């Protein structure tokens, strides 16, 4: 059975993620193929590939079955997921964690990105069980570059610096589709 779609409206969605767009009918099938399952709690598309297919999902902080869900932004675009995985395997996260330890303004900006993430999710609904939780290891560790890249794609440049760096490293270009090559 298909879950009833929750609608939050474009205005609120844009406050959550500057680059967000509403869900199009075709998105559900594309996301199901990307994720290998039907997306749950989907309220918007955080960013799209140049060809229009969803690149990032925006998920409501409570799933239809009632369980709290802290991951607001999730990278779904197959070629981008693969490209980020390659950077993770190259050991980039260890270097980022090291930099967090010795660059105070980077650490401060990363902690700020965490607070913004939580604040934006709270615009949808504040769920006490996940109140202090964000994603990707924020506020003080780097644990998942996919989560940080998804955040940067949805929120736009300048909010999550590590996410911005990852997008630069994979050569993300909003005007260039690389779907056919993945």
User: How many residues sit in the footprint of Zn ion (CB under 5 A)?
Assistant: 4
Nearest CB to Zn ion, comparing residues 30 and 111:
30
DSSP 26-85: HHHHHHHHHHSS--SSEEEEEEE-TTS-EEEEEE-SB-TTS-B----EEE--HHHHHHHH
Residue 30 is a binding residue for Zn ion (CB under 5 A): no
- The secondary element (H helix, E strand) that includes residue 127 is none
Smallest distance from Zn ion to CB 49, Å: 3
Residue 49 is a binding residue for Zn ion (CB under 5 A): yes
Smallest distance from Zn ion to CB 33, Å: 13
Smallest distance from Zn ion to CB 104, Å: 39
Which residues between 150 and 179 bind Zn ion (CB under 5 A)? Answer: 177, 179
Kindly state the tokens that stand for 148.
């940080």
**Calpha distance 93→102 (Å, rounded):** 15
Of 10, 24, 51, 90, the residue at the interface with Zn ion (CB under 5 A) is: 51
């Amino acid at each position: 059975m298909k879950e009833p779609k929750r609608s939050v409206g474009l205005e609120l969605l844009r406050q959550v993620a500057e680059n967000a767009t509403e869900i199009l009918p075709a998105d559900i099938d594309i996301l199901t193929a990307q994720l290998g399952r039907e997306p749950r709690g989907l309220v918007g598309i955080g960013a799209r590939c140049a060809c229009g297919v969803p690149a990032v999902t925006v998920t409501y902080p409570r799933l239809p079955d009632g369980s709290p869900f802290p991951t607001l932004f999730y990278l779904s675009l197959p070629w981008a997921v693969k490209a980020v995985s390659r950077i993770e395997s190259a050991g980039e996260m260890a270097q980022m964690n090291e930099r967090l330890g010795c660059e105070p303004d980077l650490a401060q900006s990363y902690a700020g990105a965490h607070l913004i993430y939580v604040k934006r999710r709270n615009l949808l609904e504040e769920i006490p069980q996940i109140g202090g939780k964000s994603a990707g290891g924020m506020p003080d560790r780097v644990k998942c570059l996919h989560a940080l890249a998804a955040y940067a794609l949805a929120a736009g440049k300048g909010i999550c610096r590590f996410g911005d760096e990852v997008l630069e490293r994979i050569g993300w270009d909003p005007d260039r589709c690389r779907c056919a090559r993945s």
